[in-house]
Structure 1
């Protein structure tokens, strides 16, 4: 079934890419972050996708969060070579899906979502957690167009417009879809300051009111936030929308953008404790973001199935 139909039932999203690449010996310590592996070790990217399907994920999110043409051009690649790497990211996810289905003799529908990170991710200064940047609508669209065009051309099932902290950027990207890719579905996942507010200070009620009016947006929610923030965010979102809600938070660790390190917090609950609460508060698509693992996705799968 197509993704617009699929979101009417519970779906399990995958987990972190960079964490699993690092376990495989791939260096992600650069401005390209995990996207560097598309250059150095695409087989490792394939292996991570495969591991999440094997853990029970229904949706693989491509390794393109930080894979945008300007970022690749900064390290000396041509625009054509940059787009080829974005296409490669989709191909390895699709191949992992095909190979898993063959090996497991599994009949369930599996999907590939094309990750579209915010402009703040390109800045590589932690501003996807603040939204503290400002471009005009056209500039946002010029930045996002090449990656989105390549993801769509490569056949993703849905676009994951994710970790979005800036309302003006969200509006620019959705308008770009309307103008250039009117048949393409997307989900929009927000980067939040608190349970009521987008990182740039916009009330979530204002953001959701806008997204409710966008037929190409088939689901909305939050990602890349602490596990303990999710229930309150869902309590804000649920009364505001009839669209399916999605959540894919970080593990119990918190990120310090000043030194680009993660720190474990004490007494953090597990996915197994929280997923039933999220379901009860309307979450339909559930997975993990930074520092989560196939083990976390397996916990989610055991609950949802």
Structure 2
């Protein structure tokens, strides 16, 4: 299987910003209060999706994420779509990113040698499917977890107790099937699969889902062969610097993602959808744990794309004003330089998540010390 490093000529690559919030801000699309998020715009206004991708590319991004984060059969069924209809929308999301890439490269051809532009398939966690969404709390209902969201102000648990190993194994396998079925939509269509350069599993809130994603990749390998596989990464979410799953940590995330030899390993791991102020400490703890894991070749890359600073209320489905992002790019560059100095990492892909648009990415391109 190809390593993520083979996609780039430099150990630092710039990624885009938050697709959904960019569509809201610049294209006046009502997204954050809909169950399909940015995937809704794939159907309603595909040109807006292309233009959002183009805005990030013109700002200097070399990696663009598809508008497919919310694409799961469960969310589309609630919105009234059959599985066949949903699958067509998902594949269209990939085609729109590829169209944006083609248009940008045509524009760029007049300026000199064409850059390498990569399309990453955005794959949200199971936590993106419940109502309210659970990326930031990790309350997964059975069979995916111990308990559904208990309600605002009520106690609950998002991790299994000692002695519940059998239930946790059942949950991990259920999550693996959830991800595998979605991956098959893309890989079963050769034209769509050829447009994708890498797979981006994003905003994962619980450790067992990291292990489940590795199982899903193994299932894909067994059915389609290792030569068909794309480089892939897993990013976890750490709201306010902590993994949502109780009693878990960045070290456990790394062990789940890179430990053991019986499952395929991602060639990159990372952090997304949390504040830039937490990125340095989390990535440093991850790097320390990598040193205790048996190496299997090339060092993993680190993926970093923090939010712009505002906070999303999953109950009200509204954004609340948060941290000032005036120095967001400079702060992120400081983290990148620290990461580059750490020999645990082979390289870094850096960009923005929610409430970061083309302007922030342009500032980031200017701030990064290559």
TM-score scaled by length of structure 1? 0.92
The answer to whether 1:122 aligns with 2:121 is no
Residue among 37, 40, 61 paired with 1:36: 40
Structure 2 Cα separation of the partners of residues 3 and 208 of structure 1:
17
Q: What's the CA shift for 1:145? A: 2.5
Which among 74, 85, 89 is matched to residue 89 of structure 2? Answer: 85
The number of equivalent residue pairs is: 304
Specify the SS of the correspondent of 2:129: helix
Larger radius of gyration: 2
SS in structure 1 of the partner of residue 86 of structure 2: helix
Decide which moves more: 125-134 or 4-13.
4-13
| Contact 1:251–1:290, Cα closer than 8 Å, also in 2 | yes
Matched, 1:141 2:176: yes
Deviation at 1:206, TM superposition (A): 1.7
Please identify runs of 4+ aligned residues in structure 1 that moved more than 4 A: 266-269
Is 2:245 the partner of 1:200?
yes
1:139 Cα offset (Å): 2.3
Corresponding residue for 1:57?
Answer: 61
**2-side partners of 1:149 and 1:220: how far apart?**
22
Q: Which runs of 5+ in 1 are unaligned?
A: none
Is the 2:239–2:275 Cα contact (8 Å) retained in structure 1? no
Query: 2:268 aligned to 219, 226, 245, which one?
Result: 219
Q: How does 1:235-254 map to 2 (within 5 A)?
A: 235-241=284-290, 242-254=299-311
- Confirm or deny: 8 A CA contact 2:257 2:265 kept in the other structure: no
Are the aligned partners of 1:194 and 1:233 in contact in 2 as well (CA < 8 Å)? no
Q: How does 1:61-76 map to 2 (within 5 A)?
A: 61-76=65-80
Moved more, 99-108 or 110-119: 99-108
What residue number does 1:5 align with? 6
SS at match of 1:33: coil
Aligned equivalent of 2:165: none
The Cα shift of 1:146 comes to: 3.2
Are 2:215 and 1:175 equivalent residues in the alignment?
A: yes
Distance in 1, Cα, partners of 2:30 & 2:326: 29
SS at match of 1:162: strand
- Matched with 2:367 is 303
CA deviation vs aligned residue, 1:28-55 (integer Å, no higher than 9, x gap):
1311111111121111111111111111
Contact 1:238 1:281 (C-alpha < 8 Å) held by counterparts: no
Query: Quick one: distance in 2 between partners of 1:227 and 1:11?
Result: 17
Deviation of 1:193 (Å) = 4.5
Q: Once structures 1 and 2 are overlaid, which stretch shifts more, 128-137 or 109-118?
A: 128-137
Rounded to whole Å, the distance in 2 between the matches of 1:204 and 1:44 is 36
**Which moved further from structure 2: 258-267 or 22-31?**
258-267
What RMSD in Å do the two structures reach over aligned CA positions? 2.1
Higher strand share: 1
For the 8 Å contact 1:234–1:281, the answer to whether it is kept is no
